[in-house]
Each structure stands twice: as C-alpha cells, then as structure tokens.
Amino acid sequence: MKAKLRPNLAALRALEAAARLRSFTLAAEELHLTHSAVSHQIRQLEAALETTLFSRVGTEMIPTPSCLRLTLRLRQALSDMDQALEEARSEGSPSRRQLNLNVMADLANVWLIPRLADFSKAHPDIDLSLSVHHAVTPPDPRSVDVGIWHRRVDQHGFRSDLLLEDQVIAVCSPEFRQRHAPLTLAALPNVPLLHFATRSWLEFFQAAGIPHAEPRSGPSFSEPASLLNAALTGLGVAMVRTHLARAYLQRGALVQIGDVQIRAHLNYYFVWREDNPSEPAIRSLYQWLREQLESPAPE
C-alpha cells in the first residue's frame, strides 16, 4: 500500500499558479518567489506523483492532462481553504464580509466606481475588493466571489443571472455639435466619426435610415472607456452604451445625436458560485446593482 502524499502548501499553490498562467516565471512573480523555487517545487511534485505535469512548447509551460485534472480540483480546495481562513480571521467581527469582485473594465471604470460610496453607505458590513477584466471570455470563475462579465459561465454549481441588456446611441461633446451645427442623424456620414473595434457604424446607419456605406476614415478604439473619453474631448461622434453615457448626458458633458438606439452585441451577467459561504453578501450586492441600474446616475 502506497504511503499518502503530503505535499507542502507552497508547492500546491505553485502548481496551481503555473498551470493557470502556463509559465513558471509568471507564477513566481504572482507568488513573490524565484523562478528556481517554483521549478524546484514542481519537480518535487512530479517525483512524488511519478508523472509529468508540464511540457514546454515555445515559451509556454503546457499542463499535461493529468495536471489539468489535478489543478481543477486543487483550485477549488485552495479557494475553500482561503475562504475558511478569512472567516476565522474575521471571527472578532463576524458580521463583516469581504467580496472579491471582478468586473468588465468599461462597466467598472465608467459606471460602477462612481457608485461605490453609495454601496459602502448602504452595506457598511461588506468590503469589496475590485479587479477589472478586459477580455470577452471570462476568467476562471473560481478565482473570485462575483464576476460581472459579458458571457455566462455554464459550469455546474455556478449561477449566471442576466444583469443588463444595454442599447447603443450616438453621442458627441456639446462643442463638437456646435462646430458642426446643425448636426442631425442624416449629417453623420459627413462629420468625423469615432470607431469601436467590434461595432460597425453601418448597423447604426441602417437603423437610422441613412443610405451610406461603412465609413473608412477616423480613429478606432479597442476599449469602450477610451472611445468615451475621445468623444468627451470633442474628437468626433461615438457609438456608446447608454448606461456608460448616462451620467455624462445628465451633466451635459455629452449630447445624443437623434434618438436612434441599437442593441449592444454583448450583455452583462452576474456570475457566482452557489455554495459560496458569502451568499448573503452576494445577494445584497446583486440587489443593490439592480437598484442602481434603475436609478438616476450620481451627480
């Protein structure tokens, strides 16, 4: 009968990070270790398990199938352990909860952060730890308590509730509109237009009944927040989500051109693990978000 394996916790964390990042170097940076320390810990695990855990392809360390199976379960165990330790540390103030929240960068920077003071006032017992996400594909949902992402997570034990179906409108700065007055929907093909990498002006033109091909000139932006900032500076007319533009429209920093709206290609989903011990705090956050989406933007 083989003796039970008892690898140290540092080695297990190194394995999980290396498999997730596909790099011993990045794992070492994340864990504040040296590359040689991570490499040594993983070699010890491979020797103890009598199996290969990684293969090198170019500059990447690719997890083997057995490594992927192991780290899938290991990641959950480490998350549960961290949560248990956090609860034990907070025993002196058991009513407080910390939620690790990962949000799409545009929604976080433009819409959510200006409202966080209201959340702290409404829920002084909940501390939010906020990080942002840029890619359409969600990160590992086990790495956070709550994710607000563009795609659902169809994994057992996770909930993905539709948070927001948004619309897209055409906006510009008041100064830009004055320079190009009278600026109507029909005049849009004749003024500087700002492009978003994944959205076509042709779709907007068709909805507005404008017989014009897709404009070829004008700057293009890959981040919604950058596109919005360009419109604020008077660089041109931009198509932006209504919830990202709402506060600026209310303050008069932006004006809408016409009343045409087209549906945004991507929605926002509120994602969380159903057996998360912080479920009461998660539900409080979800209810607060729903209320904020229905209320006016903060001044």
- Note if the bond before 182 is cis, omega within 30 degrees: yes
Q: With contact defined as beta carbons under 8 Å apart, do 247 and 64 qualify? A: no
Cite the residue boundaries of each domain of the chain with CATH code 3.40.190.10.
90-165+267-294, 167-263
pTM of the model: 0.66
Please report the pLDDT score of residue 7 as a whole number.
77
SS3 content of the chain, % helix, strand, coil (to 5): 45, 20, 35
Q: Per-residue confidence of the chain (299 residues) as pLDDT tens digits?
A: 456 677 788 899 999 999 999 999 999 998 999 999 999 999 999 998 999 999 998 888 999 999 999 998 898 888 888 877 776 665 555 567 889 999 999 999 999 999 999 999 999 999 999 999 988 899 999 889 999 999 999 988 899 999 999 999 999 999 999 999 999 999 999 999 999 988 889 999 999 999 988 888 889 998 888 999 999 999 999 999 999 999 999 999 999 999 999 999 899 999 999 888 888 999 999 999 999 988 765 55
Architecture (CATH level 2) of domain 167-263: 3-Layer(aba) Sandwich (3.40)
- Taking only the tens place, the pLDDT of each residue in 202-237 is 999 999 999 988 888 889 998 888 999 999 999 999
Instruction: Say what angle helices 24-31 and 9-21 make with each other, to 10 degrees.
Output: 130
Beta bridge partners of 270: 148, 161
DSSP string, 192-260: -B-EETTB-HHHHHHHHT---PPP--S-EESSHHHHHHHHHTTS-BEEEEHHHHHHHHHHTSSEE-SS-
Tokens of 26: 């990045």
CB 147 within 8 A of CB 133: yes
Q: For the segment 155-185, what is each residue's pLDDT rounded down to a tens digit? A: 888 999 999 999 999 999 999 999 999 999 9
- CATH 1.10.10.10 domain residues, the chain: 9-78
CATH superfamily of 90-165+267-294: Periplasmic binding protein-like II (3.40.190.10)
Instruction: Say how far apart CA 173 and CA 256 lie, in whole Å.
Output: 9
- Both tokens assigned to 77: 């165990």
pLDDT at position 1 is 47
CATH topology of domain 9-78: Arc Repressor Mutant, subunit A (1.10.10)
